Amino acid sequence: MSNTLRKASVKGSFYPNTCTEINAYVDIFNREFDKHTIPKETRFIVPRAILVPHAGYVYSGFTANFAYRFLENAQPKRIVVIGPSHRYGFRGISGSFYDAFETPCGNIEIDNPYLTTLAKAFNIEFQEQAHRNEHSTEVQMPFIQHYFPNIPVIELVYGDFSPQKLSSIIVALLQNSDNVVVISSDLSHFYPLEEAHNHDNVCLTAVAKLDTTLIHQGCEACGNIGIEAMILASHSLKLQSKLLDYRTSATASGDESSVVGYLSAMFYA
């Protein structure tokens, strides 16, 4: 493949289709972030990985941005974004073997040589349909472009895949100090607010306590495999976790009858 582009397929719906509007969103998120009193010992944590949501920016952008503000501390040389496939069912995990990822603020280089090496080690395939309209990974790219201009990315999209196998990939990635990992997942979908909180609190506790058993006891995240894999990797690498922001779509919409939950967290040595 020469000079191929991973096209931005959800710009104009999940996030704005102009760079000016994206920057305006990030400015709003940061003004809100700066109102939070963050303890000094937390502010300077250097994450190895973050967990972020992937809905429309109006709903989950603030929660995602909260984590990217901390990820800035890491000054990575490569960012690996891992998310679940929403529109294409397949077994395994797929890497986006393109040259660049399109965003409204310009293209981001994809580290194809590194991905090729990773793919050989972990049997990562290329399923084009897994990437074509996948928003879980794509909505992260404008944030990455904003905070990490000129840093290459890798996009991994998983289908039916074992958390243990994904955990092995994450461990290998994070054993290289050049890399940080972005795990993309929303929480529960379309419950009334109180019921959503009950399901989501199981996920929050699982992440806070790094407890994989809780993932199977009522956590209804769409990226459960990614969350469980990140918890397993944290045990292997002796990482700690910290919850950053939690909210639901009701914060933006005012509709408490059917909500989606959003969490951001970070994992650090």
Question: Within 10 Å of residue 40's Cβ, how many Cβ atoms?
Answer: 6
Residue 188 structural domain: 5-268
Strand partners, 52: 184
Answer yes or no: is pLDDT of 2 > 90: no
Mean pLDDT of 57-83: 97
pLDDT at 92: 98
pLDDT > 70 in the chain, percent: 99
pLDDT band at 1 (very low <50, low <70, confident <90, very high): very low
Residue range 158-192, pLDDT digits in tens = 999 999 999 999 999 999 999 999 999 999 999 99
Q: Is the confidence at residue 52, as pLDDT, over 80?
A: yes
> What residues form DSSP beta bridges with 245?
264
209-255: pLDDT as tens digits:
999 999 999 999 999 999 999 999 999 999 999 999 999 999 999 99
Give how many domains the chain has, as a whole number: 1
Q: Is the pLDDT of residue 268 over 60?
A: yes
Q: What is the CATH number of the domain that holds 206?
A: 3.40.830.10
Using CA atoms of 15, 16, 17, 20 in order, give the dihedral in degrees to the nearest 10.
Answer: -130
Report how far residue 51's alpha carbon sits from residue 64's, in angstroms, rounded to the nearest whole number. Answer: 8
- pTM value is 0.97
Tell me: the pLDDT tens digits for 105-144?
Answer: 999 999 999 999 999 999 999 999 999 999 999 999 999 9
Which of 212, 213, 158 has the alpha carbon at shortest distance from 184?
158
